A and B are shown apart, each in its own frame.
Chain A
Amino acid sequence: MNTLNNAVIWIGTGVIIISFIISLVFSKSNKAYMNGFFFCILIGLLLSINGICSKFLFLYSIETCFFIQSTLFLLDLLFWTLFFLKLLKDARNHRIIKILFILTLSFAVYVLYYNSTNKSNLHVLALLNICKTIFCILFYHNLFKNISDQNILLEPSFWIVNGLIFYSCLSIPFYGLSNYILLQFSLLIANNIFSISNMLIIIMYIFFVKAFLCKTHLHKA
């Protein structure tokens, strides 16, 4: 039993639960993109519970686990697409986001449901993360193009996108090279390497919590 891997999973679930509670408490916002943000955290929570069930409940079939996981991945992509559509205002960015979403979704649906439902879907996750990374790059491009007098450190969107790019960008090599890692390293080391990507998820949720706290700071001001 890999204790480090398990510890990261439990800590991760704890952090996600905390951020879910915070997102519910501070769900009302004057920022359009923050409305419904708890759905994203709910998806993360469900993914985490699904992972725990597959690991610790022996009756929970691997097919069910993959099916739920794949559906949640797609819902997650849908959520982030809507989030960035609300966040970025100009028509050119909207067009790019929509095209990227349609292409990624089509490919992901094909691979997840028609090609390899029973196999690991980490490659598709890498693809989804590439898509989300591009969304984040669009955000940064937009941020530097439209300079205003706002303090970005007090902008929830800045922290959310930082968290997202941190996870989605840095986890691409882990998920993309998952087969290579499993072949080259022992299962124990491979699990520890994958724990790094789980740790990235935890840090992403910490960034989300920071984003919600930014909002309360603004309210007080």
Chain B
Amino acid sequence: MQDPSTQGIIIFIAGISFLLLLFISFIVTIVYKYQQKQNNYFKDIEALKTSHENAMLQSQLEIQEQTLQNISREIHDNIGQKLTLAKLHLNTLTYDDKEKTAAQVNDSINIIGEAINDLSDLSHSMSSEIILNNGLIKALEYEENQLKRSGLYEIQFATTGNPVYLESSTELVLFRIVQEVLNNIIKHASASSIQMHVHYNEADLSIEIHDNGKGFNLVENMKGTGLQNIRKRTALLNGNLQISSDENNGTEIKLKIPLYENKPVI
């Protein structure tokens, strides 16, 4: 028979040991379960990242394809026509009438000069070099100058906030979105004024493009390839796109993308 004090100590030690054991198992279970869930979380993140990278690659390929189509169309419709005209001028040189011949040669020189300028513009516009070397803002400024040079539009471009350099692939997709919007304005809007505003917030970047053209019916034109491309590329950048347009009241496009969630690869 043990005395009460020994019995008490045994109860104490047994009690504490049991409770500690119980609690250590509890902590181990919690940590194990948490790490299991964390592994699943990492796997999900990895899968999302891979799918994002695939979508980005897909988009890059589409952009390349579209760029080639644009180049081909420009060469065929514009530069090709000019060179054909220059060739025609040169083919019809008679050399009898020196003044006429000189005028024809001068015309040909001018036409070839225009074709060279067009080629240079096309090359700059389609190349991603400007984005890679100078960033999005410089590329947009270049687009602004191009439009100004055409003399067809009154264009205002403003940048506010503290510019942040994004991944070049993200900037390229953004630039192509803006180019698509500007192309749509040039082709369909019959606008005389374009306003572009880029604003860098702390967490996101917003781009607003507004024209005073004839506008369009959103419901009828929503499935157009141009708008679909814009939507798809915005979604790829985890962005948010708002288009508002009234017939004869111009169109406004607002694009917002998070600054720190886009880490795509080319």
Which residues of chain B are near A153, meaning CB under 8 Å? 31
Residues on B with beta carbons closer than 8 Å to the beta carbon of A149: 38, 41-42
Nearest Cβ distance between residue A40 and chain B, in whole angstroms?
20
Q: How far is the CA of A186 from the CA of B20 in the complex (A)?
A: 25
Closest to A161 in B: B30
Interface-located stretch among B1-9, B145-153, B221-229, B244-252: B1-9
- Among A148, A166, A192, A203, which residue has the most Cβ atoms of chain B within 10 A? A192
Q: Within 8 Å CB of B5, what residues of A?
A: 2, 4, 188
**Which of B10-18, B51-59, B161-169, B209-217 has 4 or more CB atoms under 8 Å from chain A?**
B10-18
Do A196 and B7 touch across chains, with their CB atoms under 8 A apart? no
Per-position contact with B for A153-168: 1 when CB-CB < 8 Å, else 0? 1000000001000100
Chain B positions within 8 Å of A186 at CB level: 4
Across the interface, do A189 and B11 meet the contact criterion of CB distance under 8 Å? yes
Among candidates B4, B23, B27, B40, residue contacting A189 with C-beta atoms closer than 8 Å: B4
Q: Which residues 43-99 of A have a CB within 8 angstroms of B?
A: none
Instruction: Given A149-B38, A189-B4, answer yes or no on A144-B9 (Cβ-Cβ < 8 Å).
Output: no
* Cα-based distance from A207 to B70 in the complex (angstroms): 67
On whether the beta carbons of A166 and B23 are closer than 8 Å, the reply is yes
With known contacts A149-B38, A193-B11, A144–B33 Cβ distance under 8 A: yes
Are B19 and A192 touching (Cβ within 8 A)?
no
Interface size band for A: 20 to 34
User: Contacts of B22 on A, CB cut-off 8 Å?
Assistant: 170
Q: Which of A144, A147, A148, A170 contacts B19 (CB 8 A)?
A: A170
A152 to B27, CA, bound (A): 11
Contact partner of B31 among A2, A152, A192, CB < 8 A? A152
At the interface, yes or no: A191 with Cβ under 8 Å from chain B? yes
Docked-complex contact A199 and B16, CB < 8 angstroms: yes
| CB within 8 Å of B: which A179-201 residues | 186, 188-189, 191-193, 195-196, 199-200
The reply to whether A152 and B34 contact each other, CB–CB distance below 8 Å, is yes
Contact assessment for A147 and B37 in the assembled complex, using a CB-CB cutoff below 8 Å: yes
B8 in contact with A192 (CB, 8 Å): yes
B41 engages A147 (CB within 8 Å): yes
Q: Contact between B30 and A147 (Cβ–Cβ < 8 Å)?
A: no
A143 vs chain B, min Cβ distance (A): 7
A113 contacts chain B at the CB level, 8 A cutoff? no
Nearest to A8 among chain B residues (CB) is B12
Q: Which of B32-76 contact A (CB under 8 A)?
A: 33-34, 37-38, 40-42
**A193 near B37: Cβ-Cβ < 8 Å:** no
Chain A residues with Cβ below 8 Å from B20 are 203
Contact status B8-A196, CB under 8 Å: no
Could you tell me the distance between the alpha carbons of A200 and B20 in the complex, rounded to whole angstroms?
A: 9
In angstroms, Cα B19 to Cα A84, docked, is 25
User: Smallest CB–CB gap between A196 and chain B, Å?
Assistant: 4
The answer to the question of A140 belonging to the interface, with a C-beta cut-off of 8 Å to chain B, is yes
A189 (CB) vs chain B CBs: closest residue: B8
Give the residues in chain B near A162, CB-CB below 8 Å: 23, 27, 30
Q: Is the CB of B23 within 8 A of A170?
A: yes
In the complex, residue of chain A having the shortest beta-carbon distance to the beta carbon of B9: A4
Assess whether B38 is in contact with A147, with CB atoms less than 8 Å apart: yes
Measured CA separation A112–B254 after assembly (Å): 62
> How many Å lie between the Cα of A80 and that of B7 in the bound state?
36
Closest to B4 in A: A188
Q: Which residues of B contact A188 (CB under 8 A)?
A: 4-5, 8
> Residues of A contacting B34 with CB < 8 Å?
143-144, 147, 152
Partner of B8, one of A144, A191, A203: A191
Q: A188-B5, A189-B7, A192-B8 are in contact. List 13 more A-B contacts (CB 8 A).
A: A4-B8, A144-B34, A144-B37, A149-B38, A152-B34, A162-B23, A162-B30, A170-B19, A189-B8, A191-B8, A192-B9, A193-B11, A200-B19
20 example contacts (A-B, Cβ-Cβ < 8 A) are as follows: A2-B5, A2-B8, A4-B9, A140-B30, A144-B33, A144-B34, A162-B27, A166-B23, A170-B19, A170-B23, A188-B4, A188-B5, A188-B8, A189-B7, A189-B11, A192-B8, A193-B15, A195-B12, A196-B11, A199-B16
Q: Closest 5 A-B residue pairs measured CB to CB?
A: A192-B8, A196-B15, A147-B41, A192-B12, A189-B8
Chain A interface (Cβ < 8 Å from any Cβ of B): 2, 4, 140, 143-144, 147-149, 152-153, 162, 166, 170, 186, 188-189, 191-193, 195-196, 199-200, 203
